[in-house]
Amino acid sequence: MKRPIWLKREHLRSIIFDDDTPAGRRFDIVLTIAIAVSLIILFIESSPSLPYWLKFSLGVLEGLLTVLFTIEYIARLYSAESRRAYALGGWGIIDLMAVLPPYLAFFLPGARYLLILRSIRFIRIFRIFRLFSFLNEGELLLQAIGRSFHKIAVYFLFVFVLVICLGTLMFIIESGQPDSAFRDIGTSIYWAITTLSTVGYGDITPATPVGRLLSSFIMLLGYTLIAVPGGIVTASFINTTNDPVRNGRCPRCDAKVRKGDKFCSQCGEKL
């Protein structure tokens, strides 16, 4: 604790990475506001008809924020306990992506819009409100969805094939009409997805009686199909709560298992 430069680094670290010191909390709040401001600037700048003075001042403000975020990234990198772990870890990469776009934009004009990745940093908002239990909930949610990933993947392959067939059928039926919106099979498949997902923009709609009959059938099908992922996810959520392992049973062979067991002693199922 006698080396002043190390002390400084530790002090910086407590401000940047901690959230239980007053300085750390203040830092997090300022950072979240800065991110929000930088996003709002991006939104306003995207508008085509801006007066010159506004465009100019927004540009200046954005430059300032970029400098600030750059300093912040360097400070983070400098003060991190393990610089390597930070730079290559998930948050380190997100932080870097929040800094780089304006620099990349010198070479690649479109890169500016990568700034939007700053929105991911909003997730830090939990740190301000100390809502870590929320993040646990989020993890449980992801687990429940992840556990039903296999079923959902199969389901979407089925929907994919269905949508290709229905789109083509609709193209055959409707494309004969003058001024039909079903111009090609690609558009028809886009229409089938719009209908099956119950979005229904209405930019492409059937005009023939047969087309409307088929549409009605697709809508009622979508009505039922929309229930399937819901059923999968809900069953997964309920199984998280009614966990058979918790009830002392192997979920596969129904044999009794003990609390600490990692594998079923009868069938080897991972618990």
Residues numbered 150 to 209 that lie near a copy of itself (CB under 8 A) are: 150-161, 164-165, 168-169, 171-172, 175, 183-187, 189-190, 193-203, 205, 209
Q: Which stretch binds a copy of itself (CB under 8 A): 11-19, 29-37, 56-64, 217-225?
A: 217-225
Which of 14, 32, 119, 208 binds a copy of itself (CB under 8 A)? It is 119
Q: With respect to a copy of itself, which residue has the nearer C-beta, 22 or 110?
A: 110
Near a copy of itself in 36-65, by CB under 8 A: 39, 42-44, 46-48
215 binds a copy of itself, rule: CB under 8 A: yes
- Binding-site size, a copy of itself (CB under 8 A): 93
Decide if 195 contacts 188 (C-beta within 8 A).
Answer: no
Buried b (16+ CB within 10 A) or exposed e, 87-103: eeeeebeebebbbbbbe
Beta carbons of 255 and 265 less than 8 angstroms apart: yes
Radius of gyration, CA atoms only, the chain: 27
137 binds a copy of itself (CB under 8 A): yes
Environment class of residue 208 by beta-carbon count within 10 Å: exposed (0-12), middle (13-18) or buried (19+)?
middle
Among 230, 258, 260, 262, which residue sits at the site for a copy of itself (rule: CB under 8 A)? 230
3-state secondary structure of 101: helix
The Cα–Cα gap between 246 and 227 comes to 29
Binding mask 97-116 for a copy of itself (x = CB under 8 A): -------------x--x--x
> Smallest distance from the beta carbon of 55 to a copy of itself, in angstroms?
13
Phi-psi region of 254 (alpha: psi -120 to 50; beta: other; left: phi over 0): left
Instruction: Please identify, using beta-carbon distances, which residue of 34 and 193 lies nearer to a copy of itself.
Output: 193
Q: Which is nearer to a copy of itself, 47 or 82 (CB)?
A: 47
140 binds a copy of itself (CB under 8 A): yes
Among 60, 64, 220, 255, binds a copy of itself (CB under 8 A): 220
48, 62, 71 from 105: Cα distances, Å: 19, 13, 19
DSSP 105-138: TTT-GGGGGGGGGGGGGGGGHHHHTT-HHHHHHH
Nearest distance, CB of residue 247 and a copy of itself, angstroms: 8
Cα first-last separation, the chain: 46
Shortest Å, Cβ 83 to a copy of itself:
27
